[in-house]
Amino acid sequence: MTARRGFRPPSFRPPPTRNTLLVVFRDKAGPIGHVAVGSALLDADWGGTLSMLPSGQEAEGLADFFCDTPAQAKRAMDELVEIGDVPFHPRDFAPRWFSPRNGSAAVGWLLANRKGRKARRLLTEAVCAELEQLQRILEGARRPGYRFHFVEAEPGEDRAFAGPALREAGNNQMQRTAPAQTMVRRR
């Protein structure tokens, strides 16, 4: 049996996630807080598809900025213990922190290069809105000593590890002040 020319089997897509993308911030003194972004970007990046768009030295992929939540790291370590004969150290699961400048460059690259066929399919209106929100958040956090990472928080998961919930302030204010001042704790 030969495949028809141009035939592409349907690709598997899981149902939409109920998880939420969080941007977690810290500075030299410790945690600042987190901003909940949404789930459209997580859905678009299922299987790392979106993270693989940047190529070469132009920008890091979004997946490079993700870390496990403490609950996810504990589950992974428990699985490795159960498997046995897999050496690891708990610091292998410690969160990594990144410069907002690098995160902003990765998001900016995706927004600037959304014209390709694959990018147009993945970067829906909802995904672009979340990317633009991430761009504003990361640009507002470009201060000496500020670091961030992304986490995919599950519904009902304790978010105490991420510090207090923050929200964006106006764009002009974000450009003039540090994130701790521009992002206001939710009431």
- What does the pLDDT look like over 27-67, one tens digit per residue? 989 889 999 998 888 887 755 556 655 555 566 788 889 99
- Three-state SS for 105? helix
What is the chain's mean pLDDT, rounded? 79
Residue 25 placed within a domain: yes
Residue 157 placed within a domain: yes
Residue 1 placed within a domain: no
Query: Is 106 exposed, middle or buried, given 0-12, 13-18 or 19+ CB atoms closer than 10 A?
Result: buried
The pLDDT, as a whole number, for residue 72 is 93
The pLDDT, as a whole number, for residue 110 is 84
C-alpha dihedral sign at 174, 96, 122, 14: negative
Residue 5 placed within a domain: no
Residue 178 placed within a domain: yes
What total of structural domains would you count in the chain? 1
pTM higher than the cut 0.85:
no
Residue 8 placed within a domain: no
For residue 186, CA distances in Å to 28, 34, 152 come to 23, 11, 20
Residue 71 clears pLDDT 60, i.e. is over it: yes
Residue 7 placed within a domain: no
The pLDDT, as a whole number, for residue 168 is 75
Q: Which residues contact 104 (CB under 8 A, 6 or more apart)?
A: 135, 138, 139, 142
> Taking a C-beta distance cutoff of 8 angstroms, is the pair 81, 93 a contact?
no
Token duo for residue 98: 């990144």
For residue 32, give its domain range.
20-185
Token duo for residue 145: 């000593």
Q: For residue 154, what is the DSSP state?
A: P
Across the range 74-101, mean pLDDT stands at 91
The pLDDT, as a whole number, for residue 58 is 60
Residue 181 placed within a domain: yes
Residue 136 clears pLDDT 90, i.e. is over it: yes
